Each structure stands twice: as C-alpha cells, then as structure tokens.
C-alpha cells in the first residue's frame, strides 16, 4: 500500500502515539503500572456530579434523543457557548459572547487547527513557525504540523530554589521573534513539568505577541477557572490577541472529547469552518453534561473545592516519596506548581531517558521519556535525554510502587556509570 505524504506523516511513529498506545495497553491488560499517561484521576465527587447530570438528561423529556440524534452547529451548541462566555465575563470581566467560543473534539483537535492556521506554508510561499518560548512543552504538539517541522523553541533559564527542586523560566534574553514566527504558544500549567509561568512572564509574552501582530496561544487545559489544577498564584488573562484553550478532560470528562477555544470572532469562524470540514460538528456530550454547571458557576466551585486539593495533596505526597527514594543522587524534581505530573531531571545520568523508559517497561512501569517534549529545539542539549515525565494521578499505592521501581532503576544506572 502506497500512502501520500500526508498519510505517511500521520501514520509514522510519534511520541503522542507511543504514549496513547502505552495507555491503551495498560488499560487493556491491567498488569502495568501506568505512570506515563495524562488520564485524570477518578474523583468520586466529580464522577457523582456527572452521573447526576446524565440522569437529569435522561429524565428531561427527549433531551437525550436530541443529544445523540442531532448535529449541533460547527462551532458547538450555542447554549453551551453562551454559558461559557457568561461565566468568563462574570468572573473576569472579559467582553465575550458565544461568538468568541468554539468547541472542538478535544484540545488536540484545537491545536491541530490553530497551529496549521498560523504556521506552515503561506500563499506567498513563505514558511512560518510556532514559537515555544520555553521547552520542554506538551508532547502532543510535536507532530501536528501538516508541513512537517513547524516549531522553534528556546532553552529555559533554570533556577534552583533548594531542597532538590528546580524551576524553568522563560529566558527572554534569548527569545527571538522575527517575521518567520506565526504565533507564540505556551501551556499554563505546563505539561510535562507542572511549571506555571508567572504573571510577569505571561504579560511580557502577550506584549511581544501584540507588538509583532501575532497571536499568543495559551493552553489552559489544567488551569483556572476549571479544572484549576494549579497550586500557585496565577492571574487568568485574555484579550483579542490571545487564543485561550480550555478543556473538560481534566475536569474528569476526557472521554467526551470537549475542547473549548476562546478567541476573537475571526478565529472562531476559522475553527467552526474546520470543524464543519473535518467533523461536520463537534461532539456535544461534554457540553450537555457541563452546561448547567457552567451556567451556575458550579464548575468553578467543584474545581476549587474538589479537584485542586485532591491533586495538590497527591503532588506533595508523590514529590516527597520520590525525593526520599532518590536522596543522595544528582536528581532534581521540578517544583510542582500544577497539572498532574512530576518532571524528574537526572543530571548526568549515564544512560538516556529512552533507555531508562525501556528498562522500566520491562519491569511493567510505564513513564514518558523526556526527549519527546522538546519540539523545535536544536539537537545537542543533553538535558533533553536526562528527564522523564511521571503522572501521580493513579491511586497512591500504585504511584508509590511505581516510584520505588523508578528510583531503583535510576540508582542502578548511576552505579553503572
């Protein structure tokens, strides 16, 4: 079978494909310690509330039949989009309407649309790229470009606050924006590291984007106001030069595939057009489950009361456990400021992160090797091969068992060197 360039590109081995294959295999067999995926935890209070919403839909006349039997508009159900706009307008004073909101089949679809809208080949033949001002960044970005490599990224400035921790910052002295940059993108909190860019960093990036007449795309899949998996101060920001991506996945609804894009109307029309071409319309289940919670503001209260403290406590326990197991080694854990991951830097590890991944997989522990998280960065920085991403979302017993095996393999690797 001969495939087109497009077919070969999107069927080739990719980091996100490896991650999702590992996740699927772990769920199917049940005999692996899955510390590599981004699946959110089952939080009882959230699951119960979503179950209640489904029961309400089933009991509401023919609401369920309309949900599964009708297409919605290409930008998503207007009532839900209105509810999102009203919530953000009420909470933050942002001047939004339903026409500033579009739904996609998960955030991954949103970034496929956005990145290929602002990067790649233009009508004049010019190639533009997405600037990631701080790598490492989300594994799912790396392979979405139709025109191949569409990213350029910068090494971070590394700060050592003590106690075996480190933190990445944007190195603005090395940040270069020229006419070949089509947009800037950051995640906040950052997947994979749990880093939260400071308000000053975000404001400076917003000003730089505006000065160069390009959008700043902020991936807020783990951020505030929902699911609010963020453990430090961070002010939400939006203006007409910012494209803000939200999601219901980490609220506890990953299977509904509901990404939410907040942007100026011209961009929303582009998103709706792409939805119509690729999907006819986005999936409406997540919107139906969350609409009343969005309209009342309950989604913010649940995120504040249930989701944030749940993950913050798990982050602290996992961080303490891993630090204890690796005491005396040259390992550092990124300050866990949000999201559902620990980012472990094993400085001067004699083997690569890919080899460590292989050894751990032989012991039925699955992580994600760090080299996948540096798209657009010139080769040669050893740091990329010295890091792994570990999720702490599973139950504490599973996480602790996995961390013990990870620590054993890391210590053995150091001894080999």
Q: What is the pLDDT of residues 48-83, one digit of tens each?
A: 999 999 999 999 989 999 999 999 999 999 999 999
Range of the domain at 344: 11-46+302-416
- Give CA 285 to chain center in angstroms: 21
Q: Are residues 159 and 251 in the same domain?
A: yes
Q: Is residue 60 part of a domain?
A: no
Task: Supply 280's token pair.
Answer: 């006819």
List per-residue pLDDT tens for the chain, 417 residues long. 888 878 787 777 655 566 566 656 655 666 799 999 899 999 999 999 999 999 999 999 899 999 999 999 999 999 999 999 999 999 999 999 999 999 999 999 999 999 999 999 999 999 999 999 999 999 999 889 998 789 999 999 999 999 999 999 999 999 999 999 999 999 999 999 999 999 999 999 999 999 999 999 999 999 999 999 999 999 999 999 999 999 999 999 999 999 999 999 999 999 999 999 999 999 999 999 999 999 999 999 999 999 999 999 999 999 999 999 999 999 999 999 999 999 999 999 999 999 999 999 999 999 999 999 999 999 999 999 999 999 999 999 999 999 999 999 999 999 997
Q: Are residues 335 and 356 in the same domain?
A: yes
Q: Are residues 354 and 393 in the same domain?
A: yes
Q: Is residue 128 part of a domain?
A: yes
Q: Is residue 66 part of a domain?
A: no
How many structural domains does the chain have? 2
Instruction: Report the distance separating Cα 195 and Cα 337, nearest Å.
Output: 6
Q: Is residue 283 part of a domain?
A: yes
pLDDT at 1: 81
* CATH number of 18's domain: 3.90.1150.10
Q: Are residues 39 and 116 in the same domain?
A: no
* Boundary-marking domain end, from 251, 282, 297: 297
Q: Is residue 253 part of a domain?
A: yes
Q: Are residues 85 and 227 in the same domain?
A: yes
* Boundary-marking domain end, from 297, 329, 362: 297
Task: Supply 134's token pair.
Answer: 């701080």
Q: Is residue 61 part of a domain?
A: no
Q: Are residues 258 and 124 in the same domain?
A: yes
pLDDT at 235: 96
**Do 347 and 370 form a contact (C-beta atoms < 8 A)?**
no
Q: Are residues 286 and 384 in the same domain?
A: no
Instruction: Report the distance separating Cα 230 and Cα 218, nearest Å.
Output: 15
Q: Are residues 226 and 120 in the same domain?
A: yes
Q: Are residues 396 and 307 in the same domain?
A: yes
* Boundary-marking domain end, from 266, 297, 328: 297
Q: Are residues 285 and 306 in the same domain?
A: no
Give which of 246, 242, 291 is closest to 72, Cα–Cα: 291
pLDDT at 27: 55
pLDDT at 320: 98
Contacts of 14 (CB under 8 A, 6+ apart): 142, 143
Q: Is residue 67 part of a domain?
A: no
Peptide bond into 328 cis (omega under 30): no
Q: Is residue 51 part of a domain?
A: no
Question: With 0-12 CB in 10 A as exposed, 13-18 as middle and 19+ as buried, what is 34?
Answer: buried
Positive or negative, the Cα torsion across 70, 71, 73, 78? positive
pTM assigned to the model: 0.94
* CATH number of 123's domain: 3.40.640.10
pLDDT at 61: 85
Positive or negative, the Cα torsion across 201, 202, 206, 209? positive
Half-sphere exposure of 278 (CA within 13 A, CB side): 15
Q: Are residues 33 and 163 in the same domain?
A: no
Q: Are residues 168 and 210 in the same domain?
A: yes
């Amino acid at each position: 079978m001969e495939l087109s360039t497009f077919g070969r590109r999107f069927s080739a081995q990719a980091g996100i494909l490896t991650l999702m294959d590992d996740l699927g295999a772990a769920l199917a067999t049940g005999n692996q310690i899955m510390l590599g995926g981004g699946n959110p935890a089952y939080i009882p209070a959230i699951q119960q509330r979503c179950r209640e919403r489904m029961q309400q839909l089933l009991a509401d006349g023919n609401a369920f039949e309309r949900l599964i039997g009708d297409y919605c508009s290409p930008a998503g159900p207007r009532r839900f989009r209105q509810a999102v706009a009203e919530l953000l307008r009420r909470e933050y004073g942002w001047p939004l309407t339903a026409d500033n909101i579009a739904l996609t089949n998960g955030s991954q679809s949103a970034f496929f649309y956005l990145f290929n809208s602002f990067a790649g080949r233009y009508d004049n033949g010019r190639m533009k790229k997405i600037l990631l001002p701080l790598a490492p960044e989300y594994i799912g970005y790396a392979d979405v470009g139709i025109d191949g490599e569409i990213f350029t990224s910068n090494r971070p400035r590394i700060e050592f606050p003590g106690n075996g921790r480190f933190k990445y910052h944007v190195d603005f002295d090395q940040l270069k924006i020229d006419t070949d940059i089509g947009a800037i993108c950051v995640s906040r909190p950052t997947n994979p590291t749990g880093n939260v860019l400071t308000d000053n960093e975000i404001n400076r990036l917003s000003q730089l984007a505006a000065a160069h007449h390009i959008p700043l795309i902020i991936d807020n899949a783990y951020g505030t106001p929902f699911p609010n998996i963020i453990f430090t101060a961070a002010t939400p920001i939006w203006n007409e030069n910012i494209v803000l991506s939200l999601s219901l996945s980490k609220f506890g609804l990953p299977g509904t595939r509901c990404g939410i894009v907040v942007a100026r109307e011209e961009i929303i029309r582009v998103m709706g057009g792409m939805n119509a071409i690729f999907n006819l319309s986005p999936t409406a289940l997540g919107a139906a489950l969350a609409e009343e919670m969005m309209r009342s503001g309950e989604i913010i209260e649940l995120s504040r009361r249930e989701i944030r403290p749940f993950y913050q406590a798990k982050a602290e326990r996992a961080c303490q456990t891993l630090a204890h197991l690796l005491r005396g080694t040259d390992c550092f854990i990124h300050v866990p400021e949000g999201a559902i991951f620990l980012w472990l830097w094993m400085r001067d590890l004699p083997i690569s992160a890919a080899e460590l991944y292989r050894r751990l997989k032989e012991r039925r522990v699955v992580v994600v090797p760090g080299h996948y998280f540096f798209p657009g960065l010139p080769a040669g920085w050893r740091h990329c091969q010295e890091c792994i991403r570990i999720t702490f979302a599973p139950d504490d017993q599973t996480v602790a068992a996995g961390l013990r095996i990870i620590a054993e393999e890391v210590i053995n690797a150091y001894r080999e060197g």
